[in-house]
Amino acid sequence: MPLIEWNNAFSVGVQKIDEEHRKFFSITNKLFDSMQGAQDREVVGFVLKELQQYVVYHFKAEESLMKMYNYPNMNAHKQEHEGAIKRVNKLVLDYERGLQTVDIELLKFLSDWIQNHILQIDRKYIPYVRGKV
Average pLDDT over residues 11-40: 87
- Whether residue 60 lies inside any domain: the answer is yes
Task: Flag whether 2 is in a domain.
Answer: no
Question: What pLDDT does residue 24 have?
Answer: 92
Check if the beta carbon of residue 70 is closer than 8 Å to that of residue 128: yes
H helix intervals, the chain: 15-36, 41-68, 74-96, 104-116, 126-129
Domain that holds residue 40: 15-129
Whole-angstrom Cα distance, residue 39 to residue 129? 41
Counting the structural domains of the chain, the total is 1
pLDDT digits (tens, 9 = 90+) for 20-32: 999 999 999 998 8
In percent, how much of the chain has pLDDT > 70?
98
In a domain, 7, yes or no: no
106, part of any domain: yes
Question: Does residue 6 belong to any structural domain of this protein?
Answer: no
Helix (H, G, I), strand (E, B) or coil at 14: coil
- Check residues 23 and 39 and name the one with the higher pLDDT: 23
Model confidence at 45: pLDDT above 80: yes
Q: Provide the CATH number for the domain around residue 58.
A: 1.20.120.50
The amino acid present at 106, given as its one-letter code, is L
- Structural domain includes residue 67: yes
pLDDT of 10 > 90? The answer is yes
pLDDT in tens, 58-77: 999 999 999 999 999 999 99
- % of the chain at pLDDT higher than 90: 59
> Are 30 and 51 a contacting pair, CB within 8 Å?
no
Q: Give me the pLDDT at residue 133, please.
A: 64
| Residue 34 in this model has a pLDDT that exceeds 70 | yes
| 10: in domain | no
Q: Give domain status of residue 82, yes or no.
A: yes
Q: How far apart are CA 31 and CA 117, in angstroms?
A: 19
Give dist(CA 130, CA 14) in Å, integer.
Answer: 6
